[in-house]
Amino acid sequence: MDHAADAHRTDLMTITRFVLNEQSKYPESRGDFTILLSHIVLGCKFVCSAVNKAGLAKLIGLAGETNIQGEEQKKLDVLSNDVFVNALISSGRTSVLVSEEDEEATFVEPSHRGKYCVVFDPLDGSSNIDCGVSIGTIFGIYTLDHTDEPTTEDVLKPGNEMVAAGYCMYGSSCMLVLSTGTGVHGFTLDPSLGEFILTHPDIKIPKKGNIYSVNEGNAQNWDGPTTKYVEKCKFPKDGSPAKSLRYVGSMVADVHRTLLYGGIFLYPADKKSPTGKLRVLYEVFPMSFLMEQAGGQAFTGQKRALDLVPEKIHERSPIFLGSYDDVEEIKALYAEDEKKN
């Protein structure tokens, strides 16, 4: 009998047990983060179940509303947003919530307030829902550092001040990837137990990868460094093999693959969208936080992504993130370009 394998099967490291273990390293901790996380986990399980049942439950299709970015909202977006807002408020551990789906930040009633602010995209990649492609929830967590009335300033902070970030991918399996600032850990939902189990401890992104991931349909509008970089991926002049292109169009899926296999994910600025498409607070920051914690890098075309200081809650930024060496290459091209201009 393989006792080690048996112990692995019977001594399960659930996400709650994992976070409690982490918490025990900080004697002053009162368990607030564990409680907050358990509410986020509940939201993820609910959305996972709704995504799995979407076809059956007729949740696919438009809800008849448009969100603040002018995009059509799907029924699942509306449902996921409601689920997360309710779960976060009822945790009693949050004061400010910023959701991709809500124009304004939500300020929690004083009776339910707690010391965290959560920024999130409840269902990212929703244009992929109808064809059953992986979609996900992305979140980032800040600490409220005062006891005055909370304001949006409490979340308009650089990503390097986040205390935790993660995403849940609703794909062929449901996987929650989390960092509390001490590495990146992946938990897979065991549907029979209804528990996220640690399956990918201490994820490290390969130092260099052989995949690039970008919407090449926008190529005619790219700037010089992005154009040169993608050209290098396809026609390398140093004798290295050309990179493969993989692009799902769902950030969680594209970043998840990048994290596990290495390579680079790009959503650059272009002439039509000079600040890029992806949102700083709940797309760029959480994914950049995870990339850095896994040993990769995240760059905006100008600076380290986590050093950005957003001025608006729905601000956008170009983003290049992934394997350390691959991001170094794009940084060098932008530095060269800056010297010339």
Q: Which of 45, 75, 256, 277 binds ligand AFP (CB under 6 A)?
A: 277
Contacting range for ligand AFP; rule: CB under 6 A; set: 86-94, 198-206, 245-253, 256-264: 245-253
- H or E element in which residue 232 lies: helix 224-234
Residue 251 binds ligand AFP, judged by CB under 6 A: yes
CB of 87 to ligand AFP, least distance (A): 21
Residue 231: how many other CB atoms lie within 10 Å: 12
Residue 124 binds ligand AFP, judged by CB under 6 A: yes
CB of 100 to ligand AFP, least distance (A): 8
Q: Which of 137, 250, 300, 317 binds ligand AFP (CB under 6 A)?
A: 250
Contacting range for ligand AFP; rule: CB under 6 A; set: 109-117, 147-155, 247-255, 286-294: 247-255
- Read off the DSSP letter of residue 135: E
Under a CB-based contact definition with an 8 Å cutoff, are residues 92 and 114 in contact? yes
Residue 275 binds ligand AFP, judged by CB under 6 A: no
Lookup: tokens for 123:
């269902």
CA distances from 173 to 145, 165, 249 (A): 37, 20, 18
CA distance 228 to 232: 6
Size of the residue set binding ligand AFP (CB under 6 A):
13
Determine the straight-line distance between the first and last CA of the chain, rounded to whole angstroms: 67
Which stretches within 27-166 are classed as H helix?
A: 32-53, 75-90
Residue 188 binds ligand AFP, judged by CB under 6 A: no
Residue 276 binds ligand AFP, judged by CB under 6 A: no
Sign of CA dihedral 61, 66, 68, 70: positive
Q: Report how far Cα 230 is from the mean position of its chain's Cα atoms.
A: 24
Closer of 210 and 215 to ligand AFP (Cβ) = 215
Strands 94-99 and 185-190: unpaired
Contacting range for ligand AFP; rule: CB under 6 A; set: 33-41, 123-131, 238-246, 307-315: 123-131
What does the per-residue mask of binding to ligand AFP show for 192-231, with x meaning CB under 6 A?
Answer: -----------------------x----------------
Residue 61 binds ligand AFP, judged by CB under 6 A: no
Lookup: tokens for 235:
């026609």
Residue 150 binds ligand AFP, judged by CB under 6 A: no
CA distance 114 to 93: 4
Closer of 94 and 126 to ligand AFP (Cβ) = 126
Question: Closest Cα to residue 245, out of 215, 280, 285?
Answer: 215
Q: Which of 21, 66, 90, 127 binds ligand AFP (CB under 6 A)?
A: 127
Contacting range for ligand AFP; rule: CB under 6 A; set: 27-35, 43-51, 155-163, 249-257: 249-257
Residues in the site for ligand AFP, rule: CB under 6 A? 71, 124-128, 215, 249-251, 254, 277-278
